[in-house]
Chain A
Amino acid sequence: MQLRPNRVKEKIYAGEVAVSVVGFTHPDDIDNFGPIANANGIDAVWLEGEHAGVDHANLGNLTRACDLWGLTPVVRINENSQGLIYRTLDCGAQAIAVPHVNTAAEAQNVVLGGKFPPIGRRGNYASRQGHGVPNYMELADDHSLLIVFIEDIIAYQNLDEILEVDNIDIFFVAPGDFAASMGHKGIWDQVANIPEVAETMEDTFRRIQSAGRIAGATCGKAGLQRYLDLGAKFFLTTTSEWLDEGAGSFMNIVNRHSG
């Protein structure tokens, strides 16, 4: 059998936009969302392990649910550790997002953990996505997706050298920590509009694009135009906005008919 395709990787290298959705913590919820995701062309599920509870004990089950619907499981981990990166891949992730990557050496560390020799130093194991795939070792590097977070002002200052590191697929520019590192603490979609922050982030997106690399962004519906115009090809959005809207609409009707 063949290695499962990585839908996000295929889309972004075809010049298309790929969308991932965060907000699922249970495999049954991913199954429930599967038909909706497929009907709407959503590419990926973002599994949150920098801040939330996704870990090795539950990655197998979460990523199997993604596999059944052809959704790319993207896992954000909480440390730039080679061992953590490849164990997360071995447990079923097809993509790794590493937060707070601030130097070329730190970006290269992501590659070392995420790719087999000779590119990197990923440890050799019968990875979950490799069961029954005879040429897994040959293909795995082409299918795995590596994302680094540009979210500190230091990363912005080191951006040119970071952008020279090969085998990083997406340079994800995240507003919350970016603003905080510039002295502006607050809710991420609000601080993203502070002029100094907005200008620095926009310059970051432009430089990623002009270096011929791919940028990622997190936003709700309202932010899409801005980040698409800045050249972002990979998006993270959350179910919470959809739940808010759905609940709001539902309760509006309840209120209208019970007044």
Chain B
Amino acid sequence: MNLRPNRAKDKLAAGEVAIVVGGFTSPDDIDAFGPAANANSIAGVWLEGEHGGIDASTLGNLTRACDLWGLTPVCRINENSQGLIYRTLDCGAQGIVVPHVNTAAEARNVVDGGKFPPIGKRGAYTSRQGHGVANYMQVADDHSLLVILIEDIIAYQNLDEILEIDNIDVFFVAPSDFAASMGHTGDIGHPDVVETMNDAFRRIEAAGRNSGATCAESEIPRYLGLGAKFLLTSVGPWLSQGATSYMNAVKAHSN
């Protein structure tokens, strides 16, 4: 059998925008969301392990639910550790997101953990995505997606050297930590923060690399205008909008 395609990576390779959705913590919820995801061409599910509860013991079940719907499981981990990166891939993730990557050496460490030799130093194992795939070791590197978070002012200062590291698929510019690292904690709309982030997006695009952004519905024009190709959005606002709309209808009909 063939290695399962990586929908997010395939979309980026085709120059299309890949959308991933965060907010799922149970495999059954991913199953329930599957039809809506497919009907709307959503590329992947973001599994939150920098701040949330995703770990090696839950990844198998979560990523199987993603597999059934052709959704790319993208897992954010909470440390730039080679071992953590490849164990997360081995447990079923097709995409890895590493927070707070601030130097070329740190970006290079992500590649070392995420790719097999000769590119990197990923340990060889019968990875969950590799069961039954005879040529897994040959094709795994082409199918894994590596995302690094540019979210500190230091990363911005080192951006040119970071952008020279091969085998990073997405340079994801995240606002909250960016603002905090610039002394504007909680103020992602501060003009200095906005201008610095915008410049980061422009330089990523100018270097011929893909940028990513965390993006509410209202921010889509801004980030697509800045060239972002990989967007993370959350079910939170959808639930909020749905609840508001529903309760408005309840009120309208119960007077």
In the complex, the answer to whether A65 meets B34 with C-beta atoms within 8 Å is no
| Contact of B249 with A by CB under 8 A | no
| Contact of A124 with B by CB under 8 A | no
| Contact of B131 with A by CB under 8 A | yes
In the complex, the answer to whether A131 meets B35 with C-beta atoms within 8 Å is yes
In the complex, the answer to whether B131 meets A27 with C-beta atoms within 8 Å is no
Stretch of B13-21, B25-33, B72-80 on the interface side: B25-33
| Contact of B65 with A by CB under 8 A | yes
Given contacts A34-B131, A64-B68, A131-B34, contact A28 B60 (CB under 8 A): yes
In the complex, the answer to whether B35 meets A68 with C-beta atoms within 8 Å is no
Q: Inside 8 A of A68's CB, which chain B residues have their CB?
A: 64, 67-68
| Contact of A14 with B by CB under 8 A | no
In the complex, the answer to whether A67 meets B27 with C-beta atoms within 8 Å is no
How many of chain B's residues touch chain A, expressed as a range? Answer: 10 to 19
Q: Inside 8 A of B31's CB, which chain A residues have their CB?
A: 60, 64, 128, 131
In the complex, the answer to whether B28 meets A34 with C-beta atoms within 8 Å is no
| Contact of B181 with A by CB under 8 A | no
| Contact of A1 with B by CB under 8 A | yes
CA of A1 to CA of B28, assembled, Å: 18
Q: Inside 8 A of A131's CB, which chain B residues have their CB?
A: 31-32, 34-35
In the complex, the answer to whether B35 meets A61 with C-beta atoms within 8 Å is no
Q: Inside 8 A of A31's CB, which chain B residues have their CB?
A: 60, 64, 128, 131
| Contact of A223 with B by CB under 8 A | no
| Contact of A132 with B by CB under 8 A | yes
Q: How far is the CB of A180 from chain B (nearest CB, A)?
A: 37
In the complex, the answer to whether B128 meets A28 with C-beta atoms within 8 Å is yes
Residue of B nearest to A67 (CB): B68
Main secondary structure of the interface of A (DSSP, over half): helix
Q: Encode A161-177 as 1/0 by CB contact (under 8 A) with B.
A: 00000000000000000
Q: Inside 8 A of B65's CB, which chain A residues have their CB?
A: 64
| Contact of A126 with B by CB under 8 A | yes
Most buried by B among A28, A32, A128: A28
CA of A28 to CA of B92, assembled, Å: 10
Q: Inside 8 A of A67's CB, which chain B residues have their CB?
A: 68
Task: Give residues of chain B (109-136) contacting chain A, Cβ–Cβ below 8 Å.
Answer: 126, 128, 131-132
CA of A61 to CA of B61, assembled, Å: 6
CA of A190 to CA of B67, assembled, Å: 43
CA of A31 to CA of B28, assembled, Å: 18
Residue of A nearest to B67 (CB): A68
CA of A31 to CA of B91, assembled, Å: 11
In the complex, the answer to whether B128 meets A132 with C-beta atoms within 8 Å is no
In the complex, the answer to whether A1 meets B35 with C-beta atoms within 8 Å is yes
Pick the contact of B28 from A28, A32, A128, A132 — CB < 8 Å? A128
* Complex A-B, nearest 4 residue pairs according to Cβ-Cβ distance, in ascending order: A132-B35, A35-B132, A61-B61, A64-B64
Which A residues contact B (CB, under 8 angstroms)? 1, 27-28, 31-32, 34-35, 38, 60-61, 64-65, 67-68, 126, 128, 131-132
* Besides the known contacts A28-B60, A126-B32, 12 further A-B residue pairs in the complex with CB atoms under 8 A apart: A1-B38, A31-B60, A31-B128, A32-B131, A60-B27, A60-B31, A61-B64, A64-B68, A68-B67, A128-B28, A131-B35, A132-B35
A-B contact pairs, 15 of them (CB 8 A): A1-B35, A27-B60, A27-B64, A32-B126, A34-B131, A34-B132, A35-B1, A35-B132, A61-B27, A64-B64, A64-B65, A67-B68, A68-B64, A128-B28, A132-B35
